[in-house]
Copies of this chain bind each other. A is one copy, B any other.
């Protein structure tokens, strides 16, 4: 695994650009500027109203990309010129001069409350939503898949080709790793984000071989480096006879092109040989060919790493293959062969994953593409970014649609924990209120409940951390691997009732007395 890289050049490529935004952010910028309100201090909150996939938890992700974006935020000349071309031709040129000087040096971000000049924090809406929404969705999806798979299966994300274009794929690989996957097939995610990468061979590699090709150098030295080099292809043919005799198969059955491909791959990767078994027929061709190559390598002191299946009944085939590995490893005294890895892929969703992860399954590695990347059960998270205060005054959207109402005012958020460390509820309160105290009773109003609850937390954790103050990073961002460990730790503390994937108990989120009173007074006044 490579270290996470972050030089300026890569950052410029990876991060969103200032014009990756909805046009109305620019029209509103002109509106604020024309009204003399561009520099007024404002605060927005970025949040989602419900957990995705019918679950009761979500991982909030995307901080890293948001911080990168904020620090680099600056409209270039070409950007301002383009905006000028789509705004009215009689727009005051002073507005464009103003835009040229705009950056995030007055913006403060505890994730994800965003405070700063009204014009600037409005401009940030769309890119921040874009950076957080899908990242959180796929991290949560990955966490669900990890819960289904259990801790021992190796989960690989391989959905790049199913993502929404290049950066969709990069985002997917990064945040499925954060959510609990072990790695990705996506090389760029390894290079730019330090995600562990994995991959071996596709069917095309195998079908490209007829078996008539003559390798320029079929010779392989023993693993220990001592002893003469041997002709691997010739040794494989000898082993094939013994394998076929043991399996009761004719030596003509296994496809010679497939065997040539395995030999070619083994010559390139003698210490990391893996066979893809289902190009022609697993039982009649792929498995005997693989075994012949694995045993020939074994004779030279190399250990094949495993096999992959990409079609058919994956679980059943894995069980059969493991049985064959056991008898062959005994028969030919290669004990390591018994436990080599069986990897599977092919459109695996939540249901099939549960089957593959059941007790007694011989599957070790599970590659998931489409269903982790596209989140088919809910392909978007309804993140919103709402104005909660301007000039220190709370703001609230008082629409006739109660679903779309917002909670006004600059806020703080705390997680109240039981003595065993498990979370009891989260509480939102006004920023100026005293934080809840451990061991002290507190009255709160859970959303959706008719009455107040009185709770006595054993511990209190603040949920909003200040990451960017006046444009400057307050503390180093955690590495991706650290964020991944933190996410898994947080999940491990959550009660199984909330972690249940179907019909979980909702996790309570409550308002403080004061916040609830502010909402009530604004609702009664009909005005913010």
**Contact partner, A168, options B79, B126, B171, B393, Cβ 8 Å:** B171
A158 within 8 A of B: yes
Does B160 contact A17, Cβ atoms closer than 8 Å?
Answer: no
Q: Considering only CB atoms, which chain B residue lies closest to A167 in the complex? A: B167
Stretch of A83-91, A442-450, A488-496 with 4 or more beta carbons under 8 angstroms from chain B: A83-91
Q: Considering only CB atoms, which chain B residue lies closest to A90 in the complex? A: B271
A267 within 8 A of B: yes
**Contact partner, A133, options B13, B36, B162, Cβ 8 Å:** B162
Q: Considering only CB atoms, which chain B residue lies closest to A205 in the complex? A: B28
Q: Considering only CB atoms, which chain B residue lies closest to A262 in the complex? A: B31
Please report the C-alpha to C-alpha distance between residue A261 and residue B2 in the assembled complex, in whole angstroms.
Answer: 51
Please report the C-alpha to C-alpha distance between residue A197 and residue B201 in the assembled complex, in whole angstroms.
Answer: 43
Q: Could you say how many copies of this chain the assembly holds?
A: 2
Does A32 contact B130, Cβ atoms closer than 8 Å?
Answer: no
Does B399 contact A125, Cβ atoms closer than 8 Å?
Answer: no
A398 within 8 A of B: yes
Please report the C-alpha to C-alpha distance between residue A19 and residue B193 in the assembled complex, in whole angstroms.
Answer: 13
A77-103 contacts to B (CB < 8 Å): 78-79, 82-83, 85-86, 88, 90-91
**Contact partner, A207, options B26, B279, B528, Cβ 8 Å:** B528
Per-residue CB contact flags for chain A residues 459-497 toward chain B (1 = under 8 Å, else 0) read 000000000000000000000000000000000000000
Does B164 contact A163, Cβ atoms closer than 8 Å?
Answer: yes
A427 within 8 A of B: no
A422 within 8 A of B: no
Please report the C-alpha to C-alpha distance between residue A400 and residue B312 in the assembled complex, in whole angstroms.
Answer: 8
Stretch of A236-244, A373-381, A508-516 with 4 or more beta carbons under 8 angstroms from chain B: A373-381
Does B164 contact A264, Cβ atoms closer than 8 Å?
Answer: no
Does B160 contact A20, Cβ atoms closer than 8 Å?
Answer: yes
A288 within 8 A of B: no
Stretch of A183-191, A331-339, A498-506 with 4 or more beta carbons under 8 angstroms from chain B: A183-191
Q: Considering only CB atoms, which chain B residue lies closest to A191 in the complex? A: B82
Stretch of A51-59, A210-218, A290-298, A411-419 with 4 or more beta carbons under 8 angstroms from chain B: A210-218
Q: List 26 A-B contacts (CB under 8 A).
A: A2-B85, A15-B166, A17-B166, A17-B188, A19-B191, A22-B199, A23-B185, A24-B201, A28-B201, A28-B202, A31-B205, A34-B215, A35-B209, A35-B267, A35-B268, A40-B208, A118-B208, A130-B169, A134-B168, A162-B380, A164-B171, A208-B387, A255-B526, A257-B528, A312-B401, A370-B379
Given contacts A122-B205, A203-B399, A379-B379, 5 further A-B contacts (CB under 8 A): A134-B162, A204-B387, A311-B400, A374-B379, A375-B379
Q: Which residues of chain A have a CB within 8 Å of any CB of chain B?
A: 2, 13, 15-17, 19-28, 30-37, 40, 42, 44, 65, 78-79, 82-83, 85-86, 88, 90-91, 118, 122, 125-127, 129-131, 133-135, 138, 158, 160-172, 185-188, 190-191, 197-205, 207-210, 213-216, 255, 257, 261, 264-265, 267-269, 271-272, 278-282, 311-312, 370, 373-376, 379-380, 382-383, 385-387, 390, 393, 395-401, 404, 526-528
